[in-house]
């Protein structure tokens, strides 16, 4: 490996580590909000009892509406069972929703993963960024990203599906053509290399206006 290649890999690794710290901070903030709400639960009940004692139904309704908004915020947090995955998914979902892209996520990871945080960030980050980029080419009402993650035996299964502006994306051989230039290709190449290095499986399929990527990564439980 040349000096320039090593330097580039080092800079990418530093950038991704900073990104991971940001994701962790975001999720920790969400967890703090949930713990704070549980801690204040008794206070909420006492407040509503006080309003009820003076028959102030309007205040009770306003209070319940405020609590409902807090619960809706908590319910949007994805909790997979793996904090690193939570960090990446919640950060990307927030980004997608800010760009008016609905996201359906069903993710469950009941074991600690042996994949490194950097590799996980490369895979999920690239998959989500690509899905967001493709979705932005569609009118707001036609956008959709679906994420599914779960353990299949000893393998981590990841599936990303997004709607696209074309019925079937063009490809050469087994490689789908990109409209985003060399940087996009570099990201896909890094993701492919991670899957290959781990002895995993990767499949991309473009059909009927939808693009799906499936990944299987062998894992081992960490005691």
Q: Given this model, what pLDDT does residue 114 score?
A: 87
What letter would DSSP give residue 195? H
User: Is-contact 67 44, C-beta < 8 A?
Assistant: yes
Query: CB-hemisphere CA count at 13 Å for 112?
Result: 4
- What is the structure's pLDDT at 86? 84
Number of H helices, E strands in the chain: 6, 7
Cα separation values, 73 from 33, 66, 97, Å: 9, 11, 13
CA dist., res. 168 & res. 171, Å (int): 9
How much is the pTM? 0.65
Phi/psi at 14 (5° precision) = -65, -45
Maximum alpha-carbon separation in the chain: 77
Task: Kindly tell me the burial class for residue 114, based on how many C-beta atoms sit within 10 Å of its own C-beta (0-12, 13-18, 19 or more).
Answer: middle
CA distances from 129 to 5, 39, 93, 122, 173 (A): 24, 36, 10, 10, 24
Looking at residue 179, its pLDDT comes to: 47
| pLDDT in 10s for each residue of the chain, 223 residues | 577 677 767 766 666 666 666 566 656 655 666 666 667 777 888 888 888 999 999 988 888 888 777 665 555 568 888 888 888 888 888 888 878 999 999 999 877 888 888 888 889 988 998 899 999 999 999 999 999 999 998 899 999 999 987 755 555 444 444 445 444 456 678 889 899 999 999 999 988 889 999 999 998 754 4
Residue with structure tokens 């040349």?
A: 2
Task: Count Cα neighbours of 115 within 13 Å in the Cβ-side half-sphere.
Answer: 29
Kind and range of the H or E run holding 145: strand 145-152
**109 close to 149: Cβ distance less than 8 angstroms:** yes
Pairing of strands 175-176, 201-207: unpaired
Residue 16's pLDDT is what? 64
DSSP state, residue 140 = G
Give me the pLDDT at residue 184, please. Answer: 47
SS (H, E, C) 56-72: CHHHHHHHHHHHHHHHH
């Amino acid at each position: 490996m040349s000096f320039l290649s090593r330097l580039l890999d080092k800079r990418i690794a530093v950038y991704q580590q900073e990104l991971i710290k940001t994701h962790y901070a975001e999720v920790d903030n969400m967890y703090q909000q949930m713990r704070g709400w549980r801690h204040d639960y008794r206070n909420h009940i006492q407040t509503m009892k006080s309003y009820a004692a003076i028959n102030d139904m309007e205040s009770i309704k306003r209070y319940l509406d405020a609590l409902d908004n807090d619960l809706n915020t908590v319910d949007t947090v994805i909790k997979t069972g793996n904090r690193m995955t939570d960090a990446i998914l919640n950060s990307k979902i927030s980004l997608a929703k800010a760009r008016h892209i609905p996201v359906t996520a069903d993710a469950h990871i009941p074991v600690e993963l042996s994949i490194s945080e950097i590799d996980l960030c490369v895979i999920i980050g690239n998959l989500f960024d690509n899905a967001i980029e493709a979705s932005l080419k569609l009118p707001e009402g036609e956008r959709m990203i679906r994420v599914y993650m779960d353990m299949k035996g000893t393998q981590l299964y990841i599936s990303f599906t997004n709607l696209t502006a074309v019925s079937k994306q063009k490809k050469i051989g087994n490689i789908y053509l990109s409209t985003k230039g060399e940087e996009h290709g570099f990201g896909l190449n890094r993701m492919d290399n991670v899957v290959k290095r781990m002895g995993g499986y990767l499949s991309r399929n473009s059909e009927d206006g939808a693009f799906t990527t499936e990944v299987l990564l062998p894992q081992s439980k960490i005691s």
